[in-house]
Amino acid sequence: MAMKRAALALLLVVGAMFLLAWGAPAYGGSHPISAAEATPTVEPTPTVEPTRTVPVNPAWMKRYWGHRVHRVRTTRRVVALTFDDGPNSRTKQAVRILDSYGAKGTFFATGDMSRHRGMAAANRYVLKRGHELANHTMHHQRLDKSYAANVKAIMDLEKLLIAQTGKKTRWVRAMGGDVTLTGLRATRKTGHLYAQWSLAVGDSVLGYTPPSRLYHNIVDHVRPGSIILMHVTHPETLAALPSIVRELKRRGYKMVTLSQMAAMGKPYPSWYVR
């Protein structure tokens, strides 16, 4: 009887361990420890990967490594407004509009724009006002090239932004959202997460779109966890922004930075690399 009970207990313990290992989050660097690895050896085994130089990253980032994040799976009424292709003369205006409603945004800067006169100050202003600055590649590039070229497109801008602001960025977005699996691997290598979008304001087509159309493109389709794509290059987008923010607020949506929203949920299932 005692033997039977012990055997049952052992079975339960093994079962629980199996479930725990099965349920462990799948992100780069996580793998079950084999018996050989667990056994101490005379010589310390060298680690397979050199230690990352990003020790201060919050725990939630692990959930997003290597994902192409379209939106965040959350039940909370939060959205992330993202502004691409800046900085430019409208960046501060966008920040002021958001500030006047207590909303936050994420600004995807390119290197070519950041190098213009006065634009380092615009990038600093974004951060100073509590918004997020993100990496849209040095020359507004697609991340569909070789691994080395993709890493360079990200890192050339990253170095520039660190020089301008003293801060690292967390998110990358390729020009036009064109990222391959190799591009995703590059973003992981540089210590970044990759952000796509789930809802576009519709200002990226050539020509003028009336602000009322832009407004409806957002408010008719918004949902919790939406990542909203806009461009600071379009005056009509700035014209539509106050009414969009007002309406989202009225419906109980909180507009937060991408990182703030990501911390509240999980990446919506999308392809990703390990």
Enumerate binding residues for Zn ion (CB under 5 A): 84-85, 175
CB nearer to Zn ion: give 63 or 173.
173
Closest distance between Zn ion and the C-beta of residue 164, in Å? Answer: 19
Q: Which is nearer to Zn ion, 74 or 114 (CB)?
A: 114
Least separation, in Å, of the C-beta of 136 and Zn ion?
Answer: 6
The token duo for 125 is 């202003």
Cβ-based nearer residue to Zn ion, 78 or 201: 201
* Strand-strand pairing, 105-109 and 78-86: parallel
CB of 141 to Zn ion, least distance (A): 10
Smallest separation, CB 177 to Zn ion (Å): 9
Q: How far is the C-alpha of 195 from the C-alpha of 69, rounded, in Å?
A: 5
Burial class of residue 61 in the structure, from the number of CB atoms within 10 Å of its CB (0-12 exposed, 13-18 middle, 19+ buried): middle
- In the bound state with Zn ion, the residue whose beta carbon lies nearer, of 74 and 217, is 217
Q: Report the nearest approach of Zn ion to the CB of residue 103 (Å).
A: 21
What does the alpha-carbon distance between residue 28 and residue 67 come to, in Å, rounded to a whole number? Answer: 11
Return all residues near 86 (Cβ < 8 A) that are at least 6 apart. 107, 108, 109, 110, 113, 122, 232, 233
CA–CA separation, 88 and 77 (whole Å): 30
* Structure tokens, 251: 């419906």
- Pairwise CA distance, residues 68 & 180, whole Å: 10
User: Looking at beta carbons only, is 141 or 190 nearer to Zn ion?
Assistant: 141
Question: For residues 63 and 140, which CB has a smaller minimum distance to Zn ion in the complex?
Answer: 140
Beta partners for residue 107, in sequence order:
83, 133
Closest to Zn ion by CB, 180 or 243: 180
Q: By Cβ distance, which residue is nearest to Zn ion?
A: 84
> Smallest distance, Å, CB 104 to Zn ion?
20
Q: Which residues of 168-207 are buried (b: 16+ CB within 10 A; e: fewer)?
A: bbbbbbbbebebbebbbbbbbbbbbbbbbbbbbbbbbeee
Min dist. Cβ of residue 185 to Zn ion (A) = 21
